Amino acid sequence: MTEITNVDRYKEQYAHFRSMNDILYKIPPIFTAILGGLWYFASSNLDKYKWVACGVFIFCTIASICFVNIMQRFRMAFNAYIDNLNKMDGDLKVSIKPSKLPSTIATIQYLLWAAAAISVAGAIYAYKQ
């Protein structure tokens, strides 16, 4: 049986971190396409199908909140990799943790909460039409 060395662990952890970092910057366009497409559909159908538009805006609210949850779970895994790599790197670690500025993931979450609020406003507006 082959023993796994710390160097192997480091390489594997770093490969996972690099992959997650790549995914992190692909997530916002996916959320934007989903929510933006649904908002466009809902706003285009306000005159004819008020209740459909209202339902779509409510779905967008739910989707935005679910996306916040997805990003929180992603954050927990991502931070675990950063913590492991920082331990392995010791004094040579390259990290901005902790920082007074919000992280990329926190920024995405703030924007998703704003999208949820806009979706609620859209649902209310559609209902009142």
Of 2, 4, 11, 3, nearest to 88 by C-alpha is: 11
Cβ(35)–Cβ(64) below 8 Å:
yes
Question: Any idea where the domains of the chain sit in the sequence?
Answer: 6-128
For position 94, what pLDDT does the model report? 81
For position 105, what pLDDT does the model report? 94
For position 1, what pLDDT does the model report? 72
CA distances from 98 to 15, 18, 52, 111, 118 (A): 22, 20, 45, 21, 31
For position 74, what pLDDT does the model report? 96
For position 19, what pLDDT does the model report? 95
Q: One digit per residue, pLDDT tens: the chain, 129 residues? A: 788 888 898 899 999 999 999 999 999 999 999 999 999 999 999 989 999 999 999 999 999 999 999 999 999 999 999 999 989 888 888 887 778 899 999 999 999 999 999 999 999 999 998
Rounded distance between C-alpha atoms, residue 20 and residue 31, angstroms: 17
Rounded distance between C-alpha atoms, residue 45 and residue 35, angstroms: 15
For position 18, what pLDDT does the model report? 94
Q: Which residue has the tokens 């675990």?
A: 80
pTM: 0.87
